[in-house]
Amino acid sequence: MTRTFTIQPVAAPAFRLELERELNEAQRAAVTCQDGPKLVIAGAGSGKTRTITYRVAFLLSKGISPAQILLATFTNKAAREMLSRVGALTGSDATGLWGGTFHALGNRLLRWHGTLVGIKPNYTILDEEDQRDLLKVCVTECKVKIDEKRFPAPSLIGDFISMAFNTQRPLSAIIEERAPHFGIWVTELEQIARCYETKKRTANALDYDDLLRFWLKLLEECPDFAQRLGRQFRYILVDEYQDTNIIQARIVERIAAHNGGNLMVVGDDAQSIYKFRGAHYDNILKFPDRNPGTEIFKLEVNYRSTPEILEFANASILNNPSQYRKTLLANRRRGSLPIVVPTNDAYQEAAFVAQRILELRDEGASLNQMAVLYRAHSHSSILQAELIKRNISYEVRSGVRFFEQAHIKDVVAYLKILENPFDEVAWRRLWLMIPRVGQATAAKLWQTMARTSDPLEAAIGDSLRHTLPSAAQPHVQRFQKDLRALRLEVAAGEGPAALIESVLASGYLDFLRAKHEDAQSRLEDLEQLAVLARSYPTLRSFLSELILMGELYSQQISASPAADSERLILSSVHQAKGLEWKAVFLIRMCEGNFPSEMALREESGEEEERRIFYVAVTRAQDELYLTHPLIDSGPRGNSQLLLQPSRFLREIRFTLYEQGQIEVSGFPTY
């Protein structure tokens, strides 16, 4: 005979929620809804976080134990903020509530229950460096014969394997889509992926993806566990559901299948912009189809932007056919229309943006209340140079400052040895890019070259052959061929822009593709470096200016010590999601730049690009400037290409924005 003992929960401290005063009607409806599947479409600036935290507090006020609530977020910061807000509302620290990122929650569960799927509780979690090291071992053990073709770097292989898992697609399909130039290695890469999985299991180690993989496996292969989890988590809430991948959606929806369907997912389909990370748009778009009886709430009151900015944003996103239709409504007084400003070229665009920023600062706005947004990091290069010239302090949120990036330094190393063949640091950087050449070989090569009167001539000649391992010989020969071509161009008087273009047409392109998953984005950076170089007549003048910029980059750039805390924000749109500024400048609004030409080749690419545009526009609180260059010079500056304004500007009726123009010395330009 079994006796059952019931433990009564300790009564939670009494607290009162001021729902009528603190929430609008739509927010209150979502917070106080009954059980069952719920989809909350939270428009930009509509109080999404407030709604989620009040929902948790409301459940607690109804006697639900914190341990019966699961709150999944995408960042630790978001989890901490939400739990802190819940604590402030309830007067407690919400101890016992399961809140965190998907990976953190998966780790917590696997430590306790992983043995059910063959995972020992003392497993090691591999960070990115650990993964790279293990993949290097796998490459060696699989005895890949690289010959003269560059093989993808371990970090790149790891990215391919991760994307295949998170999108539930074959590795071969990922390679064909993202890096078709590695198609010749598909068989070897699949072998390495199998080796990687075997070694992880042998070592009792999990990478980040495994935390989701085995959590889902627990739910799929252990029905008792799935039912137990469903009973434990009576209510599940998921933030930013439009950013979930297939695995994450399966996890929470499978748990909800055992808790009466009490799953509330919150997000904005119009802000689904992370397909490149594996986010699956259908997770939010077709949520009601997978969860019959779903009640949908729409949060459409925006507390961030002026009516004019929201009308502009609404008009744009209306052009996407697949979406939940909604109209953002402003809770603010009317302001000024967005301003669309055509410029002659990217240089004039940078000059306009920099000058207008200074004018706004003089009018009382601080630098940190302003941001310049762009579709790709490369679009900021000319602007960064302009900001430095005008002594405007800024912070880059889209990655490393332009001139500090590895691929920029790589190409500059080529230029440096053409100008100064005795630059040892530049030579070492170049040698280490060559397969089968390591630090020891690079040191020997330099020792031999340094004893000559012309290290460049020595590098091109045959005298270094005896220093090189045989496996490196074919790669070095290609490098020497590239150096000869560059030396001839210097002799012919070619400028720095032409030399950069030649480097990009050399074997360096193979190196870039083999080392970086975002090779195309980095190539665009380098093309912008060539654009910047066009304004310099000689290689020496360009390198001198670049070095001075580098010195400035290593320091705080500000007009005065008092302004140290004020910095203009430069950011890609993806990095800006969730943030806001009083004034926003959206640059390079022309076809081929925004929308991204590469993205348009993908299925539903235009729709995602329009969502990215929508996210950018809705970051602005008071003022929005959209600029688009009209002319782009050819690769070597010897031709001019007319640029069309972005389709995202052309499809918005002209009454929703103000047309700007630029005057130079009293004459307007267009």
535-578 tens-digit pLDDT: 788 888 787 667 655 433 333 333 333 345 689 999 999 989 98
Section 338-343 average pLDDT: 97
Closest CA to 291 of 267, 321, 260, 322: 260
- State the angle between helix axes of 406-419 and 424-431 in degrees (0 to 180), rounded to the nearest 10: 120
Euclidean distance between CA atoms 145 and 188, whole angstroms: 9
Owner of token pair 């500056």: 637
Task: Tally the C-alpha atoms within 13 A of residue 73's C-alpha that lie toward its C-beta.
Answer: 17
For 454, other C-beta atoms within 10 Å of its C-beta total 12
Q: Confidence band (pLDDT; 50, 70, 90) for 670?
A: very low
Euclidean distance between CA atoms 267 and 272, whole angstroms: 9
Euclidean distance between CA atoms 20 and 23, whole angstroms: 6
> What residues does 298 pair with on adjacent strands?
41
Triad 438, 439, 440: Cα angle to 5°: 95
Euclidean distance between CA atoms 645 and 622, whole angstroms: 23
pLDDT of residue 392: 93
Q: How close are the terminal C-alpha atoms of the chain, in Å?
A: 89
Euclidean distance between CA atoms 472 and 148, whole angstroms: 9
Query: How confident is the prediction for the chain on average, in pLDDT?
Result: 87
Q: Tens digit of pLDDT for each residue in 216-235? A: 999 999 999 999 999 999 99
DSSP per residue, 389-407: HTT--EEE-SSS-GGGSHH
Q: Confidence band (pLDDT; 50, 70, 90) for 181?
A: confident
Give the largest CA-CA distance in the chain.
98
Tell whether the model's pLDDT for residue 370 goes beyond 90: yes
Owner of token pair 């030399």: 499
Catalytic residues: 48-49, 239-240, 271, 619
Q: Which amino acid is at 649?
A: L
Q: Tens digit of pLDDT for each residue in 454-487? A: 888 888 887 777 777 777 777 888 888 888 888 8
Tell whether the model's pLDDT for residue 603 goes beyond 90: no
pLDDT of residue 551: 39
Q: Tens digit of pLDDT for each residue in 65-90? A: 999 999 999 887 888 888 888 888 88
Residue 518 is inside which H or E element, if any?
A: none
Tell whether the model's pLDDT for residue 637 goes beyond 50: yes
Euclidean distance between CA atoms 458 and 427, whole angstroms: 12
The answer to whether 342 and 571 have CB atoms below 8 angstroms apart is no
What are the phi and psi torsion angles at 15 (to 5°)?
A: -150, 160
Residue 385 is inside which H or E element, if any?
A: helix 381-389
Q: Tens digit of pLDDT for each residue in 236-265? A: 999 999 999 999 999 999 999 999 999 999
Of 99-103, 165-169, 548-552, 653-657, the least confident: 548-552
The set of residues, in sequence order, having a beta carbon less than 8 Å from that of 550 and lying 6+ positions away, is: 403, 404
Closest CA to 252 of 287, 281, 277: 287
Of 171-185, 357-371, 647-661, the least confident: 171-185
The answer to whether 126 and 206 have CB atoms below 8 angstroms apart is yes
pLDDT of residue 549: 55
Tell whether the model's pLDDT for residue 136 goes beyond 90: no
Triad 529, 629, 391: Cα angle to 5°: 60
Q: Tens digit of pLDDT for each residue in 407-430? A: 888 888 888 888 888 877 788 888
What are the phi and psi torsion angles at 622 (to 5°)?
A: -115, -45
Euclidean distance between CA atoms 417 and 455, whole angstroms: 9
